[in-house]
Structure 1
Amino acid sequence: MQQLDELSSLIAQHTKGDGVFSTAIPRLWLIRQSKRTEPFQGVQHPALCIIAQGSKQVLLADELYEYGPARHLVASADLPITSQVVEASPEHPYLSMRLDLDLAALGAMMLEVAQPAPITVQKTCGKALCISKSDPALLEAALRLVRLLDAPDDIAFLAPLIEKELLYRLMRGDQADKLRRMLMPESRLVQVNRAIAWIRDNYDKPFSIDRVASEARMSTSSLHAHFREVTAMSPLQYQKQLRLQEARRLIMSEALDAATAAHRVGYDSPSQFSREYRRLFGAPPIQDVSRLKVVPATYAQAGA
């Protein structure tokens, strides 16, 4: 598809080497990787991700999502994921763009845009991650947004208009219902997002399910059911993933020893921390971090 070829060319032009690159356009990121990566963990924030070249796998709990060119992923909550570039080479690198969702703009648009007719939900749209086919109108808007990087004087005026068009395309596409539920004040997705936000703010402290349910304005049974429906994990499993990811970041970026990092994120037992760390990341802390330091650019792609 000509649109994908041009989008690939533009992303390659504006990414020098492997990694995740911010741009002059607010909320727009470009990603490049010249080889298959190891699986890496991170938190995926609400975003639209479009792959121009190559392919990627995303694991949410035990549910696997794979997508490549002409398909896009939308995340509608903060989700601990494991991501891996599975198709890339120096000659044909993995190239993608990520637009972090402006929830305020989406909320305003929800009031303006008529709800489309119901669309059969795809199997790739069971949780707060959805994968859909990218139609030409969506790709054309994405392409025009990235083209603005070559016209910096136009960004301030035109980028918000094109971003609004992209949001409009999403609100009229087969993920419209999930996006609307993300924004409706008392929808289950909004309630679960309240629980997620509270856990993220208090991940290093013990908590009761009753407290989280109260923060979400749900019953405990409803919280358990709908939290798993959105995230594919329980609230306690979600907390554990956040703790371990933050401990990994502390060991990597602040050179903390494993015991100090474990205590910092809320673990009382170093041995329990070590067991759970190895279970999630596949190696003990010291060995895992030594491996990460060899591939820092790849590590930065977690969650992108």
Structure 2
Amino acid sequence: MTTEILTQVNKLFKNDGIHDTFFNGVKIYTTSKYDPLSPFIYDVCLILVLQGKKIGHLSEHTLTYDSNNYLVVPTTLPLECETYASKEEPFIGLIVSIDKKMMYEIIDMVSKKETSELQDNSIGVFSDEVNQDIEDLTLRLLKILQSREESKILEEPILKELFYRIAVGKNSSFLHKMFLDNNNEAKIARALKIIHTECETNLDISNLARQEGMSVSSFHTHFKNITSHTPLQYIKKIRLNKAKDLIAKHKYQVVDAAYEMGYDSASQFSRDFKTYFGYPPKDVKPSSEENSSVIS
């Protein structure tokens, strides 16, 4: 990213944290300190890194996103991320929620010739190269965000152009699969959304498979290919991340957070929590939106 981009984005925030913008679906995230590997939930978003670097891990898969590579998460996924930043060179990133209706329209309109040239990708997240088109769009977007009036008028066209550019990126094949309703990838994406919104309930995997017209074995196979987790592993991670937010942001007691997330045993919850986060839930510090473990 260019120095002009950094000049423009620095006009939009003063301190570390997650900052709202005049676009409902765009936030700026900044931090001036290194963050070690930590679990997060990413929910259907594009991350453009303007300065610094993050390394994301999904099981054995590793993805680097920095000023040369953006990250696209077309479905709800638990990732473990490491953030490289310092006071001299803070991490600065744009978190752009992907408008599904807009993306459906774009995917439907993209030519078959363009999609046939895409590299195949099976996991539910990918990084791609920041080209000149993306860089130019980022600069324009940052300038628009400085004006409430321009933001109101130009939000939809510039986001549509941005989503088009990522839809034709060389690694975007999975994005296309996610937005074609009859694909197995799209079926799993719908199941992931149900899990994300209803994780505290007693979810039945066979029912989720049946709702999408899939056999249980096929559902498990495609689920693992996309998320690198079994359904039960995935549900557990979603529950633990949401429980952490309940404790940190909403001041829940540990036992209350456990039961809210569908655990019958607070002690089992505490064991699972410590295994996942590396510390017990009683050590969770109060935090605000900027430290949320759910990114969307």
Q: Is the TM value for this pair above 0.5?
A: yes
Query: Residue 291 of structure 2 aligns with which residue?
Result: 299
Count of aligned positions: 295
Equivalent residue letter for 1:280: Y
| Separation of aligned partners in 2, 1:153 and 1:120 | 37
Give the counterpart of 1:106 among 103, 108, 117: 103
Query: Residue 184 of structure 2 aligns with which residue?
Result: 188
Structure 1 regions of 5+ residues with no counterpart? Answer: none
Query: Residue 242 of structure 1 aligns with which residue?
Result: 238
Query: Residue 148 of structure 1 aligns with which residue?
Result: 144
Contact 2:16 2:30 in 1 (8 A): yes
Secondary structure of residue in 2 paired with 1:78: strand
Query: Residue 116 of structure 2 aligns with which residue?
Result: 118
Cα RMSD for the two superposed structures: 2.0
Deviations 1:48-95 (A, max 9, x none): 11111100122224433222111100111011222231x211121111
- Structure 2 CA distance for partners of 1:57 and 1:248, relative to 1, 3 Å: same
Give the counterpart of 1:31 among 14, 29, 32: 29
* TM-score, structure 1 normalization: 0.90
Query: Residue 42 of structure 1 aligns with which residue?
Result: 40
| Separation of aligned partners in 1, 2:77 and 2:115 | 28
| Separation of aligned partners in 1, 2:195 and 2:290 | 27
Query: Residue 70 of structure 1 aligns with which residue?
Result: 68
| Separation of aligned partners in 1, 2:35 and 2:289 | 10
Secondary structure of residue in 1 paired with 2:10: helix
Deviations 1:5-54 (A, max 9, x none): 22222222212111111100231111111110133333211111111110
Contact 1:40 1:299 in 2 (8 A): no
Deviations 1:80-112 (A, max 9, x none): 222231x21112111111211111011112232
* TM-score, structure 2 normalization: 0.92
Query: Residue 212 of structure 2 aligns with which residue?
Result: 216
Query: Residue 14 of structure 2 aligns with which residue?
Result: 16
Secondary structure of residue in 2 paired with 1:64: strand
Query: Residue 222 of structure 2 aligns with which residue?
Result: 226
| Separation of aligned partners in 2, 1:180 and 1:243 | 28
CA displacement at 1:151 relative to structure 2: 3.3
Contact 1:198 1:215 in 2 (8 A): no
The percentage of aligned residue pairs carrying the same residue is 26
| Separation of aligned partners in 2, 1:302 and 1:201 | 12
